Structure 1
Amino acid sequence: MNTELRKTSKILLAGIVAAGLSVPALAGAAESDQVNNDPPATKALYGQVYDQFKDGKAGQGDSFKLGERDATLCMMGDGYGIRALAVGPNTSCEFAGEVFAELIGDATPKDNLRNFTPTTVNAHSPVTKQDYDMKCVTGQDDLITCNGGIGAAVYLF
């Protein structure tokens, strides 16, 4: 993988995580068929997340339900067919960023990561200083779930 591209992706990811985004962006994603061609199940996830953030703002570290899963929001953005990155209870947002960077590989922001799963990526945890294999699959709800490490879970939708 091009290390310069990877570095740029991490800088972009860090900026998106730091900036956060308002929940209406998710509401728009849930309603817009023509603009982004999101799968219907993904739009349902956007709507579910939108309904949980009644104050209209969602930011890094906010807890919510992703289907039946407990999750913490890490970032919101637009690219790679992904509007949000979240983690399960035993996973840091920093590690999720590493998994995302590995998953995008040589993809471009116009690509849909769902077309690249199933796959396994190896990501470094800035928290534990260890490398972990994460198996990433796209479920019937179009949620990309990456599991591995020591109970780690990363969600992309």
Structure 2
Amino acid sequence: MGKDVTIAGAPATVCIYGDGWGTNVWAGNANASCEFVSAVHEELIEGLDPTRDNIRQNLKPAITVTSPVTQQSYDMTCVQRNEELLSCTGGANATVFFY
């Protein structure tokens, strides 16, 4: 956790490794703390089974997430960017990547 990487040409920090739901890595850009990445993750997986459900087939296109850091709610738009990479963007220029 906390490893700096580049995803889709953007700098990001890995926050979650190997969580089920058909994903392996969750990361955030400089405007998304790991706590916020975890909050986005929790919102997207709510009601899904980690061993049977793939998040790509159940992706919510729009979510509202409360930041554990700022205690503010942010609207996020989520899309599948390619066969593997998905992302949610919004709030205060935050991007959460997952694949």
Partner letter of residue 111 of structure 1? Answer: D
Alpha-carbon contact 1:118-1:138 (below 8 Å) kept: no
Is 1:135–2:77 an aligned residue pair?
A: yes
Larger Cα-atom Rg: 1
Unmatched 5+ stretches in structure 1: 1-59
- The one of 61, 86, 91 equivalent to 2:2 is 61
Task: Note the aligned Cα RMSD (angstroms).
Answer: 1.2
- The one of 24, 27, 34 equivalent to 1:83 is 24
- The percent identity for this pair of structures is 39
Greater helix fraction, Structure 1 or Structure 2: 1
TM-score of the aligned structures, taking structure 1 as reference length: 0.59
Alpha-carbon contact 2:78-2:88 (below 8 Å) kept: yes
Deviations 1:9-66 (A, max 9, x none): xxxxxxxxxxxxxxxxxxxxxxxxxxxxxxxxxxxxxxxxxxxxxxxxxxx1111111
TM-score of the aligned structures, taking structure 2 as reference length: 0.92
SS in 2 for 1:83: strand
Runs of 4+ residues over 6 Å off in structure 1? none
State how many pairs are aligned: 98
Unmatched 5+ stretches in structure 2: none
Is 1:156–2:95 an aligned residue pair?
A: no
Greater strand fraction, Structure 1 or Structure 2: 2
Is 1:111–2:48 an aligned residue pair?
A: no
